[in-house]
Amino acid sequence: MRIAIQHNTPQGGAKRGLYGFTRELAARGHQLVEYCFSTADATFLPLTDFVGERHVGSFTESRLPGWRVPVLGNHLYAAAKLRTLHRFDLASREVARQIDDADFDLVFAHDCVIARKPPILQHLQTPSVFYCHHALKGNPNLYEAGTSANVVDAAVRIGVRRRFYATAWSSYWWYFSRLESQTARAADLVLTNSYFARESYFRDFFVYPKVVPCTVDIDSFKPTGLEKSNYVLTVGTINRQKAPEFLVRAIATIPTRYRPPLVVLTNGGADSQEAEAIRRLASACSVAVHMERVTEQRSLVAYYTRARVCVFAPVLEAHGLAPLEAMACGTPVVAVREGGLRETVVDGETGYLVERDEVQFGSAVARLLTDDALRAQMGRQARTHVEQHWTWDAMGARLDDSLHHFCAGRMTSAR
């Protein structure tokens, strides 16, 4: 098939999934053409080896003046974000026209760093398949559109200014939610990465996606033989949704005589206010925290392999690629028992799933830290589990089958 790969993804799990699926489609003989925006990250896992052509739509976000505006600064910033969203919808309309003119069998669209659900889906005449990596509906108190969620959250913490700042963002979130809802229902077929994500998508948008999980490259993410170091590891963007402060408090419950440092790696963005809040909390709790940005895959694999335990506690994570990467490297995982993590981590076999309780979480981590034989056994079982159930070859075949059925179904209904 001739397929347009459309995306506007930053660094992180969604781009890893996009890279893996594009590679699998190319390996199965499909002719692929990439359409993205200049706001996408072109340096992290580029698709150039798998696509015949690459088209980049120029787009820049609306900016504020370089000087600070007292009192009205938040309102002006919200207005700039609203203008960005509207302009991006118009730019997406133009890219949709270009794709429609190029005679593709289908468009395979992915998440958007600006609008989460790609607005281009509303404007396409070509049959469209949307792969939703982040299934939950946008929420100003939980998720970020740029830094808007952090501004709203900061207002909530301040209390007295809460209503004032909430008003500043109300128009933006109204437009964002309206655009997201229309886009979420516009694709001809929606795919997502977990059964939890499917349920969430149906609850929010009354669309029932098909589950085709993205996974991990077991030839790249594998045990390297490096000696274990005295730290526990978490990987992901530093923001409220990833709940790094919960991890700090959980590790603080571990007795000081074997309390490990927490290494926080990000291959995407980091909110500076959240990072500073983590440092202050860690200091108050006597927990050593090291935060670092790692984009080179070999370094990431080394961190996974040397970690004693991988810890993961995001709020209602749709899927969670980091635990799969850790398990592929032979490192057991302690994660919260919620979201898509219940579908990847096997409790008592590849690690532990626990309630969002700091004491329980810290106890599970301590159990693995103090029992070398148990930790090594779970690490081996984790690697075996990924090899048996989470290979790209299996997921690529699942995607290929879904796309062929989708096109065959459309041809049948058109007769």
**Distance, CA of 17 to CA of 22 (rounded, Å):** 9
- Tell me which long-range contacts 98-105 makes (C-beta under 8 A, separation of at least 24): 98/35, 98/55, 99/4, 99/6, 99/35, 99/124, 99/126, 100/124, 100/125, 100/126, 102/4, 102/33, 103/2, 104/2, 104/3, 104/4, 104/33, 105/1, 105/2, 105/3, 105/407
Instruction: State residue 215's pLDDT score.
Output: 94
CATH topology of 2-215+392-414 equal to that of 232-389? yes
Domain ranges of the chain: 2-215+392-414, 232-389
Q: Which of 172, 212, 10, 211 is nearest to 85 (CA)?
A: 172
pLDDT of residue 239: 82
- pLDDT value at position 271? 67
C-alpha span between 276 and 280 (Å, rounded):
6
For residue 412, what pLDDT band results from cuts at 50, 70 and 90? low
Q: Which of 58-72, 137-151, 198-212 has the highest mean pLDDT?
A: 198-212
Residue 166 pLDDT level (bands cut at 50, 70, 90): low
What pTM value is reported for the model?
0.88
Distances (CA, A) of 229 to 20, 286, 290, 383: 30, 19, 14, 19
Taking the C-alpha atoms of residue 8 and residue 91, their distance in angstroms, rounded to an integer, is: 12
Q: Give the residue from 156, 141, 165 showing the smallest Cα distance to 240.
A: 141
The whole-number pLDDT of residue 411 equals 61
pLDDT of residue 364: 97
Amino acid at position 252, single letter: A
Dihedral pair phi/psi, residue 108, rounded to 5° = -105, 100
- At position 291, the amino acid (one-letter code) is M
What are φ and ψ of residue 36, in 5° steps?
-145, 180
Which has more confidence, 149 or 70? 70
pLDDT > 80? residue 141: no
Question: What is the average pLDDT across 278-287?
Answer: 93
| 390/381 Cα distance (integer angstroms) | 13
- At 15-28, the pLDDT tens digits run 999 999 999 999 99
Report the chain's mean pLDDT, rounded to a whole number: 88
Region 172-178: what's the mean pLDDT? 89
Tokens of 57: 């739509």
Cα–Cα dist 336/342, whole Å: 8
The amino acid that residue 55 corresponds to is H
Confidence of residue 270 (pLDDT cuts 50, 70, 90): low
Instruction: State the DSSP code for 331.
Output: -
Q: Long-range pairs for 336-341 at CB < 8 Å and ≥24 separation?
A: 336/312, 336/361, 339/194, 339/196, 339/314, 339/315, 340/193, 340/194, 340/195, 340/196, 340/197, 341/312, 341/317
CA distances, 243 to each of 100, 103, 200, 293 (Å):
41, 44, 20, 17
Residue 244 C-alpha from the chain's centroid = 15
What is the crossing angle of helices 73-100 and 148-158, to 10°? 150
Backbone φ and ψ for 188, nearest 5 degrees, come out as -75, -30
Q: Is 225 left (phi over 0), alpha (psi -120 to 50) or beta?
A: left
pLDDT tens, position by position, 316-353: 999 989 999 999 999 999 999 999 999 999 999 999 99
Given this model, what pLDDT does residue 203 score? 93
Tokens of 10: 């930053």
Residue of higher predicted confidence among 163 and 19: 19
User: Fold for domain 232-389?
Assistant: Rossmann fold (3.40.50)
CA distances to 73, 144, 248, 274, 285 from 64, rounded to whole Å, are 9, 18, 35, 22, 38
Give the pLDDT confidence score for residue 268 in this predicted structure: 63
CATH number for region 2-215+392-414: 3.40.50.2000
pLDDT tens column, 31-80: 999 999 999 988 888 999 999 999 999 998 887 655 565 556 677 888 88
Question: Does position 158 have pLDDT exceeding 50, yes or no?
Answer: no
φ and ψ of 195, to 5 deg: -70, -35
Dump pLDDT digits (tens) for 209-259. Answer: 999 999 999 999 999 988 999 999 999 888 888 889 999 999 999 999 999
Closest to 247 (Cα-Cα) out of 374, 307, 334:
334
